[in-house]
Amino acid sequence: MCAKPSAPGQRVHLRAVLFDLHLTLAGYRPHFGPPVPEQVSRFLRDRKVSVPTKAWEAALIQVHRVDYPRYGYPDWERYLARVFEIVHARPKEPTFTAVVREYQRTKWSPLPFAKEAVRRAKGLGLKTALVTSVARFRFERDIRNVLAGIDFVADGNTFHCEKSGPKIYVRTLQALRVRPEEAVMIGDELEGDVLIPTRIGMRAILIHKERVTFEESQAIGGNVVARDLRHAMDIVGSWAGTAQRG
């Protein structure tokens, strides 16, 4: 049976903070996000390669959630080669290279307070981890200053699973050598960042900038909602402080 998350006022032996990537620690830089499927489909059609928009979109999702966790492609060339294979398209080399270059233009940028959040976690004596389904090669170089304070990074291929199930959390906690009840996950997605980790006994903080709906509040249950990452780390600090005073 999973342990029930402790309330903020209770004695908490917090030893680790796990962070989500997208919209928690980092986001796409303005004008440098991945090309939308419509653009790719139109580009290919102009070069006599027929790939419907929905087919390209579905293939990207399959590679993200199934093939990357299984095979761990190290770069955009091999990642997108698998996408083309799924849609049964064989573009000429110049066309393939042009598509790859468009995705290589994708850039990540640390969000406000990201580096400070990790620094605060370390200042509290907590272990840190980044847990994401996103392929590591896509973000590692762009947010290296934030990752410098992260003890362990788990992407979709690290344990051959992504964040739609608890395995990635179980294995990350094992790598950090902490128990579920000693860790908190911070992220912006209700299912992957809150409901799944709490099923194995972790605590979780949902970053939610807007007012939580009744349905969301019911799903969140006894977990905590924060306005932003700074607020989330204030909550973590209060929990860690409670443990130290206890």
CA distances from 243 to 125, 178, 222 (A): 12, 15, 19
Domain coordinates in residue numbering, the chain: 16-28+109-245, 37-104
Q: What is the pLDDT of residue 208?
A: 85
DSSP for residue 113: T
Tokens of 190: 């209700």
CATH class as words, domain 16-28+109-245: alpha beta
Sign of CA dihedral 86, 88, 91, 95: negative
DSSP letter at 5 equals: P
Nearest to 56 by CA among 68, 44, 47: 44
Please enumerate, as own/partner, the contacts of 36-43 that have beta carbons within 8 Å and a separation of 24 or more. 39/102, 40/99, 40/102, 43/98, 43/99, 43/102
Are 18 and 196 within 8 A, CB to CB?
Answer: no
pLDDT (tens, 9 = 90+) of the chain, 246 residues, equals: 334 444 444 455 899 999 999 999 999 999 999 999 999 999 999 999 999 999 999 999 999 999 999 999 999 999 999 999 999 999 999 999 999 999 999 999 999 999 999 999 999 999 999 999 999 999 999 999 999 999 999 999 999 999 999 999 999 999 999 999 999 999 999 999 999 999 999 999 999 866 666 555 556 655 688 999 999 999 999 998 754 443
DSSP state of 218: H
Give helix 37-46 / helix 93-104 axis angle, nearest 10°: 160
The count of residues in the chain is: 246
User: How far, in whole angstroms, is CA 164 from its chain's centroid?
Assistant: 11
Global pTM value: 0.90
